[in-house]
A and B are shown apart, each in its own frame.
Chain A
């Protein structure tokens, strides 16, 4: 298949499926709908006029939930009359104390530092896009986001908590803490964001906002 181009920027009209690498030409779609890959039915791109507002709202909500998830106990247990609880921080500290530096460092990055960074990037990018400012800064932020996004593991951590609860089931009395529910809601929001806001769409949005295509913005 030959593709005719006026300039390299015209390549933005083409999209490669994330799953099967089939090349598609973008077509205009209705607001609120999504385009699927012709071969594997994977979502390619979506059209959402209120992406910035929704993204900002979701990322602020996610950030607040994430803070809650890290300051209160996740689970509390009672074994033979003695209580014990765990927060994400206390888990990392206790691993550090017992000398598992590598594991605790991994956990610190995967479930605290990267998620915080990702959500701060989301909040600042959406705010800047909303204000139509910071052309260079959004570029740097989106590059950073693309680099650290694969290293975010809150969802896996949530499943691990469930597994540990079941493992402790006949050993102790278990109380589920506030942070667990906060983490649960955070993971739901995170899944929603990562399913609905692809990084490629943020780049296209940025292009439309800073480099013209006035028709798109005025609407």
Chain B
């Protein structure tokens, strides 16, 4: 029962390992090995010639480079009666911890330190294992790792939003909160990590299984 004109008359059989999922519309597609175009939405499914991982590596390295100034420069500057206090990401976490705000301190720690670093390591693992035979024992499902990478990724934006809110809210004559240089670097770092995860070709996981 063909519903569209693109049908093929004779019945044919394929190996289930050759099925891939379209990242845009989630349709199941047959992997034609090269230049796959989704049969349903027509989008390209990870087009690349001979460099399947390079785009992902490039975005990841950019993200890691941006992560360095994000930790060195102040994230937020508090100007209280003319006195200025800088606080970096780590500084902010420690300050909140000393203050007794343990849950908030934990949220900021997880969002701005734990999540980005875990994500870097996960993407590095996936990219390396796409090329070299590691992780073959199948004890860890690499698709699940990829799924979690995509799931936790956006949560590192919390710190950038918090700085935005505080800077927009507290600008009085007595107290001012000013966003720091690190916020730009951190936002860019998160952005490039997300791009890196999006450009990662999930097909590569299968090829080395």
Please give the residue numbers on chain A whose beta carbons come within 8 Å of chain B beta carbons, in ascending order: 1-9, 11-12, 14-16, 18-21, 23, 40, 74-75, 77, 79-80, 82, 84-86, 90-92, 94-95, 98, 100, 102-104, 106-107, 110-111, 139, 142-143, 146-147, 150-151, 153, 156-157, 159-161, 163-164, 166-168, 171-172, 198-200, 203, 207, 211-213
Chain A residues within 8 Å of B39, by CB: 8-9, 11
Q: List 7 extra interface pairs beyond A147-B24, A164-B162, A199-B25, CB under 8 A.
A: A16-B19, A91-B164, A100-B179, A103-B179, A159-B107, A160-B161, A164-B165
Judge whether A2 and B15 touch: CB under 8 Å.
yes
In the complex, how many residue pairs between chain A and chain B have their CB atoms under 8 Å apart? 212
Binds A, one of B46-54, B56-64, B126-134, B169-177: B169-177
- On whether A4 and B187 interact (CB within 8 A), knowing A15-B28, A82-B172, the answer reads no
> Which among B2, B16, B41, B144 is the interface contact of A146 at CB below 8 angstroms?
B41
Judge whether B174 and A106 touch: CB under 8 Å.
no
Judge whether B108 and A163 touch: CB under 8 Å.
yes
Q: How far is the CA of A207 from the CA of B2 in the complex (A)?
A: 12
- On whether A110 and B8 interact (CB within 8 A), knowing A102-B188, A163-B108, the answer reads no
Chain A residues within 8 Å of B123, by CB: none
Chain B residues within 8 Å of A40, by CB: 144
Judge whether A203 and B41 touch: CB under 8 Å.
yes
List residues 1-39 of chain B with CB under 8 A from any CB of chain A.
Answer: 1-4, 6-8, 11-17, 19-21, 23-30, 39
Q: Closest B-chain residue to A39, C-beta based?
A: B141
Check: B178 CB closer than 8 A to any chain A CB. yes
Chain B residues within 8 Å of A139, by CB: 41
Check: B168 CB closer than 8 A to any chain A CB. yes
Judge whether B24 and A146 touch: CB under 8 Å.
yes
Chain A residues within 8 Å of B143, by CB: 19-21
Q: How far is the CA of A102 from the CA of B185 in the complex (A)?
A: 9
Please give the residue numbers on chain B whose beta carbons come within 8 Å of chain A beta carbons, in ascending order: 1-4, 6-8, 11-17, 19-21, 23-30, 39-43, 96, 101, 103-104, 107-108, 141, 143-144, 147, 150, 154-155, 157-158, 160-175, 178-179, 183-184, 187-188, 191, 194, 198, 202, 205-206
Chain A residues within 8 Å of B150, by CB: 150
Minimum C-beta distance from A130 to chain B (A) = 20
Q: Closest A-chain residue to B161, C-beta based?
A: A160
What are 26 A-B pairs with beta-carbon distances under 8 A?
A2-B14, A3-B13, A3-B15, A4-B11, A4-B12, A5-B14, A11-B28, A23-B28, A75-B169, A84-B169, A84-B172, A86-B168, A92-B164, A95-B164, A95-B168, A107-B161, A143-B41, A146-B25, A153-B154, A153-B157, A156-B155, A160-B158, A167-B101, A168-B166, A199-B25, A203-B25
Judge whether B4 and A211 touch: CB under 8 Å.
yes
Q: Closest B-chain residue to A95, C-beta based?
A: B164
